[in-house]
A and B are shown apart, each in its own frame.
Chain A
Amino acid sequence: MNFSEVFKQSNQLCKVSPDGKYLATCVQYRLVVRDIGTLQIVHLYTCLDQVMHMEWSSDSLFILCAMYKRGLVQVWSLEQPDWHCKIDEGSIGLVSSRWSPDGRHILNTTEFNLRITVWSLCTKSVSYIKYPKACQKGMDFTADGRYMALAERRDCKDYISVFVCDDWHLLRHFESETQDLAGLEWSPNGCVLAVWDNCLEYKILLYSLDGRLLSFYSAYEWSLGIKSVAWSPSSQFLAIGSYDEKVRILNHITWKKITEFEHPATITNSKAVVFKEVEKRPVVSEDLSIRQLTVDNALFSTQSKYEITQLPVQVPVVKPDPERANPKIGISAVAFSADNRYLATKNDNMPQSLWVWDMQKFSLLAVLEQTAPVRCFVWDPHLPRLALCTGNTKLYMWSPAGCISVTVPVEGFQVQSLFWHCTGSSLVLLSKDQLCLCYTDAEEQK
């Protein structure tokens, strides 16, 4: 495993182009585009203010930089460096900006979710979508980029609008049977829309593309409900993580529950492997010399390794504060591996543990018990391997073969977040103000 040199970044703004050729980073008000192979700067753009949000267009030709404070969006072209575009949302303010899937339209959400402005780069035209709902995930595009589902709120009722992204034609508009819609997500094949209620009620609704209600599912009542939802890449399963610390898997034919995964505080499942991260602080020898200090900079960083612990294992549990809203309990993150075989989950009141489930046997496969709370975990886009970070100087990876922990060989680099290159050949690690590339299969390349 090799690591690149370290580059600066701000606001964790660092994106790899969808074609995988370029790496764009924002440093204050500058946008830097590098070649991913050489890491040489290809382009350098200067924005009007500190960039708050940055996004590649789907064809990797344009980069959008949003400056929410100023209500400004600037678009840069990779092909024509002197081409520029500036969108000013005016006095109404801007809270979110994104590309449409075709890469020729920009959707800006104004403050108070007053409206969504759709700017076209082709015709310079502008159109509005009124009454968007301010919620967890109120807008979603299908994977093929053809349709957009948008949650709306009118007359104290939830509505869903399905737009054709080509010409923003409103294809369907229907009322959803939710009390307070919290999110919606297209299935990867773009034919089913999962819509879930907010946490006060466990309710998930499944709509067809043409607005028919296919099915709905409710596991229980009178308790905090859904916290996270994830489709499997094959659209075969729908995983629902909830506040009762369980993940329920629905199937795509009957939309009934196939199984549920519990996250018990004591793991007794004999088929599961529990990897426990063990830290080893280096023993400072008495004849501590300057040379040692300078050469061996690992002296100050702790080494860690995984140990397979004997069952049963007690998982460290954090008791949530019942007085506060959004209690730290329940499944906050669910993610399927690219081959649909594994499911990774994180339970908020067990922040140091990451659970990996086998989706063929519907059983617990592995539990990674870290020394620090898990910050972020991402599946490789092609292989069944999982990268995670816990906000320390190490990068952790899980694969069915086992677990590894790698210390980033950069002093003071604390991995806050990470994401995979679209080929899976490298990982981009982000610290608070730095970034670093990690080549996972460097040997193969050589």
Chain B
Amino acid sequence: MGDWWSPAMMPDPTLDTKELSSISGISMSPSRQNSQHSLHSTMVLPKSTYSVLSAFCTEENISQCVTYINQEVCSLGLSAVSVECKSGSVSAVPVLNLLYEVLQLQRRAQRGLQELETQQIKNCSDLEHLQNNNCRLKDQLEHTRRENSGLHEGERQLQLKIKTLQNCLKSEKEEVQKLQSIISSRATQYNHDLKRKERDFTKLKDRLNQLLMDKRDKKLSIEVSNYVGRSDGKRGLWKTGKMEARHEGEMYKALLTDYEARQRSLMLENSELKKVLQHMKKDMIAILSPKKPCVKAELADDSLEQAGSECEDEAGESSRETLEQSCEQAREQLTNSIRLQWRKLKSHMERLDSQASLVASQEREAEELISRKEQEEELQRMRLELQQCKEFIHMQQQLLQQQISSPCDEETAALLNDCYTLEEKERLKEEWRLFNEQKRNFERERKNFTEAAIRLGHERKVFEEDRAAWLKTQFLNMTPFVDRKRPALSEPHSALSVGTEPEAKLHLTPPLFTKSLSNSVFCTPKAAPVKMPTTADLYRTLNLIPESRGQGKCQSAEMLSRSRLRNSSSDCSVISLVRDENGSV
């Protein structure tokens, strides 16, 4: 740094600035960093290090410095803010501006530098990578080259082998050919030799024969003590043309007999086979005939078949006659008919087979379809049910929870309940109203009853009194034993409360049977004939009064509706009953 700064500290600042700039320009690239460092350092450096000696600008050389700076700035290409020095004092604004610009420039330069550096690093790494890659590829190339050469070598060897083998083959072939030719030549030679030798042999034989004959071999003889008769007892015959003819005839006779025997056996066999054939044919006809109508009805191509069957029938009739004749026509007919029938049978069988397979497949398909459909339906249904059940369960759970939680705040529960079953509630209300009405009716009735009873009691009393009076008069009039009957009469009198009961029963039962609203509940009055049922009891037994509201709450919607339905129906009946009663009363 000192070196750089030293020229600036030259005693003569009027030195060729150009040179200086050029120097600076030259030394810019290497010194740039240094300057940067210096800049940083100067910024960081404490002021104490700042020495007057090393200062660039002093009081004396301000103008020079300014001009130098200007020059420098101009050379940097900045707006040559000519820092005018006005009488020794430097205005701060342009300097600061300049400084700022310089700073900007410097920062930009620094950024560029950084970028360049990173670029450099990146490039370096890229280079390295590429180098590595290159190395690898080189290795690979080498390897493949080596492999290639190996393969080439192998190929060459194989080709060599092929060549040698081909040569071998060729030589072998040649040898084979040679051997074959040798064999054939030998064979011909041997054959030739054989023939020659055989000829020689025959010649020799002839010669020997001749010699023997010529020599009149003394030894060749037969000594027979006396002649023997022929085995067949006949005498020998002269060889004549007649004899020859006879021999021929005999030979042909023998042959003929043999052929006849053979023909007979063949005929027998044939007839047997024919019988079998006939039998088969019959069976075939028997098998096929019942099927014909349906087959005909079924099939469109029955024209051919009809013809065939006609043919068959004809043939069947005719063949029976012609079976014995073995003329060709008959045979042809027979075979034709059999063939036809056989074809028919075959086609029938095939048809049956195909039908069976078709039916089977259809059945299978249908089964599959049905089952699938059913399954799907079932599944759907089950799913629905499941859904419903889930809903129910959910609802029940909710209700249960509500039930559990209701004690703490009954109102909200009630509200909820109301929310849930507003309609229900309305209906219940209506029912309640009805009940109340009925209750009132019953009350009134009861009142009537009691009043009537009281009235009756009064009347009875009066009647009793009348009767007593009448009896008294009678007794007094007729017998002294009138008093004895009194206890017997007192019995119905005492059973006054019982007496009302059949009345009620009478009122209750008829609607029960006439209307088929068979509710077992209605039968209960029978079981309680001992005492007069109170209206409350009656209501209770008729399930008109809900025993507890809580129970109803926890029931599911359906259950509720069901019970409601039942209740309503019973209500109806009860209402009608009551009305009847009212009407009757």
Interface, chain A (partner B; CB < 8 A):
58-59, 62, 71, 77, 82-92, 102-104, 112, 114-115, 119, 121-124, 126, 130-131, 146-147, 153-156, 164, 166-167, 169, 171, 189-191, 208-210, 253
C-alpha gap A130/B213 in the complex (Å)? 13
* Chain A residues with CB below 8 A from B261, complex form: 189
Known: A86-B222, A91-B219. A189 touches B258 (CB 8 A): yes
In the complex, the answer to whether B219 meets A119 with C-beta atoms within 8 Å is no
Number of A-B contacts (CB under 8 A): 114
Task: For the complex, give the distance between the alpha carbons of A123 and B230 in Å.
Answer: 9
Given the interface pairs A89-B220, A90-B217, A191-B255, the reply to whether A156 lies near B199 with Cβ below 8 Å is yes
* Binding-face segment, B10-18, B68-76, B245-253, B301-309: B245-253
In the docked arrangement, what's the CA distance between A208 and B262, Å? 14
Known contacts A156-B194, A169-B244; is A88 also within 8 Å of B252 by CB? Answer: no
The interface residues of chain B lying within 8 Å CB-to-CB of A71 are 219
Residues in B with CB closer than 8 Å to A122 are 227-230, 236
Please state if B239 and A115 are interface contacts (CB–CB under 8 Å).
no
> B231 to A124, Cβ gap below 8 A?
no
Q: Interface stretch among B204-212, B328-336, B403-411, B453-461?
A: B204-212
> Which residues of the other chain, B, contact A154 by a CB distance below 8 angstroms?
202
Contacts of A82 on B, CB cut-off 8 Å? 225
Q: Smallest distance from the beta carbon of A312 to chain B beta carbons, Å?
A: 38
**Residues of the A chain whose Cβ atoms lie less than 8 Å from the Cβ of B198:** 153, 156
**In the complex, A220→B410 CA distance in Å?**
114
Query: Which A residues lie within 8 Å of B244 (CB)?
Result: 169
Give every chain A residue within 8 A of B205 (Cβ-Cβ).
Answer: 112, 114, 131
Considering only CB atoms, which chain B residue lies closest to A119 in the complex? Answer: B222
9 A-B pairs (CB sep. < 8 Å): A58-B231, A102-B231, A104-B228, A121-B224, A124-B227, A147-B251, A153-B202, A154-B202, A190-B258
In the complex, which of the residues B227, B243, B252 contacts A210, with contact meaning CB atoms closer than 8 Å?
A: B252
Is the beta-carbon distance between B224 and A85 smaller than 8 angstroms?
yes
CB distance from B561 to the nearest CB of A (A): 81
Given contacts A58-B231, A156-B194, A253-B266, 14 further A-B contacts (CB under 8 A): A59-B231, A83-B225, A85-B222, A88-B220, A88-B221, A90-B220, A92-B212, A104-B231, A121-B227, A131-B202, A131-B205, A167-B239, A171-B251, A253-B262
Q: How far is the CA of A166 from the CA of B231 in the complex (A)?
A: 10
Nearest CB of chain B from residue A386's CB, rounded to whole Å: 28
**Residue pair A146, B254 in contact (C-beta under 8 Å):** yes
Given contacts A112-B205, A209-B255, whether A86 and B223 have CB atoms under 8 Å apart is yes
Instruction: Please report whether the interface of chain A is mostly helix, strand, loop or mixed according to DSSP.
Output: loop
Interface string of B257-286 (1 = CB under 8 A from A): 010011000100000000000000000000
B229 CB, nearest partner CB in chain A, Å: 7
Within the complex, the shortest CB–CB distance from B566 to chain A, in Å, comes to 83
Query: Is the beta-carbon distance between A114 and B251 smaller than 8 angstroms?
Result: no
The verdict on B495 contacting chain A, using a C-beta distance below 8 Å, is no
**B327: A residues at CB distance < 8 A:** none
Task: Tell whether B584 is near chain A: CB-to-CB under 8 Å.
Answer: no
Given contacts A88-B219, A156-B194, A169-B243, contact A114 B226 (CB under 8 A): no
Smallest CB-CB separation from A154: which chain B residue?
B202
A292 to chain B, nearest CB (A): 58
Evaluate contact between B254 and A90: CB separation under 8 angstroms: no
B530 within 8 A of A: no
The 10 closest A-B pairs by CB, nearest first: A90-B219, A90-B220, A90-B217, A191-B258, A85-B224, A86-B223, A121-B228, A156-B195, A102-B231, A87-B222
The minimal Cβ–Cβ distance linking A305 to chain B, given in whole angstroms, is 44
**Would you call A167 and B251 a contact (CB within 8 A)?**
no
Once bound together, how far apart are the Cα atoms of A155 and B243, in whole Å? 30
Which listed residue (B221, B232, B254) contacts A190, Cβ 8 A?
A: B254
Closest chain A residue to B238, Cβ basis: A167
> How far is it, in angstroms, between the C-alpha of A91 and the C-alpha of B217 when the chains are bound?
7
Residue of B nearest to A163 (CB): B247
Verify B248–A171 contact, CB threshold 8 A: yes
B52 within 8 A of A: no
CB–CB A92/B217 < 8 A: yes
Q: Which of B202, B220, B247 contacts A169 (CB 8 A)?
A: B247
Chain A nearest Cβ from B508, distance in angstroms: 95
- Which single residue of chain B is at the shortest CB-CB distance from A114? B205
What chain A residues lie within 8 Å of B248 (beta carbons)?
171
A164 vs B228: C-alpha distance when bound (angstroms): 20
Residues of B within 8 A of A115 (CB): 209
Q: Are B230 and A124 touching (Cβ within 8 A)? A: no
B231→A209 contact, CB < 8 A: no
B585 within 8 A of A: no
Is the Cβ of A126 less than 8 Å from the Cβ of B222? yes
Please tell me if the beta carbons of B231 and A103 are within 8 angstroms of each other in the complex: yes
